[in-house]
Amino acid sequence: MALQINSGNPVITGRSDYAAGQNIECPVIKYNQCDGTTTLDIIQNQFGANFELGYDIAIDNSNNIFIAGDTYIGALSYYFNIFYSKYNNNLTQQYIDDYGNLENQNSRKIKLDPSGNFYIGGTNQTSAGYFTYLLIKFNSNGVFQWATSYNNGIANDDHFLDDMVIDPNGYIYVSGRSAGSLTGFDIATLKYDFNGNLLWTNRYNGNGNGYDQS
């Protein structure tokens, strides 16, 4: 589901079925750019549920590889947590951990700031069953720093973060689909500073008051 370049060598992640039923593992594959030979790591059954799904990759200036994805928590669980993992340039895993609670948290993007911190953007399900934007910051060692969410003040509808980017000054921009008041889904773009403070919000509603998506 994601492809990045690491010192000229492609790195991918995604999903792979390895047994019948809900048994899904997350492959992390690095290809040699010259001959296509591979180095492989498999993220499998790390959190007790035989389900890890890779969504995105980020690579820092030292060619460390960061993976974000989703996992079930516990063998009888019906909710997702976000998992994240760091590898060195040789595809040796440095750590793996998860983030979430008793509702669904889903990752979509992982990005690095100029200081080496990483951010995961995705969605968070509330106890009422609706989804909000979710933005989480970790330091380079995978230690949680903060998390923030956005729902346009409309708690009884859905808001899905689809993409994010970080500029050279460390400001974070996120965008996605967000329910409006009598406007269907609007494109909602937000800017945050590195402390998680919301600096501005801009919403675009198309002429049809229907489904708008970035």
Per residue in 167-204, pLDDT (tens digit) is: 999 999 999 999 888 888 899 999 999 999 999 999 98
Predicted TM-score of the model (pTM): 0.92
- Return the pLDDT at 165: 98
- Return the pLDDT at 181: 84
Residue 120 counted as domain residue: no
Residue 86 counted as domain residue: yes
pLDDT tens per residue across span 24-55: 889 999 999 999 999 989 888 787 777 889 99
The answer on 162 and 200 residing in a single domain is: yes
Beta-sheet strands, E only, within 8-104: 9-13, 16-19, 23-31, 38-43, 52-59, 65-72, 80-87, 93-99
The answer on 82 and 5 residing in a single domain is: yes
The answer on 169 and 91 residing in a single domain is: no
The answer on 198 and 133 residing in a single domain is: yes
Structure tokens given for 45: 């059954």
The answer on 32 and 68 residing in a single domain is: yes
Q: Helix, strand or coil for residue 44? A: coil
For 92, residues 6+ apart whose C-beta sits below 8 A from its C-beta are none
Do the beta carbons of residue 94 and residue 81 sit within 8 Å?
Answer: no
Calculate the dihedral angle through the C-alpha atoms of 63, 64, 69, 73, rounding to the nearest 10 degrees.
Answer: 170
Domain of 199 in residue numbering reads as 127-214
Number of folded domains in the chain? 2
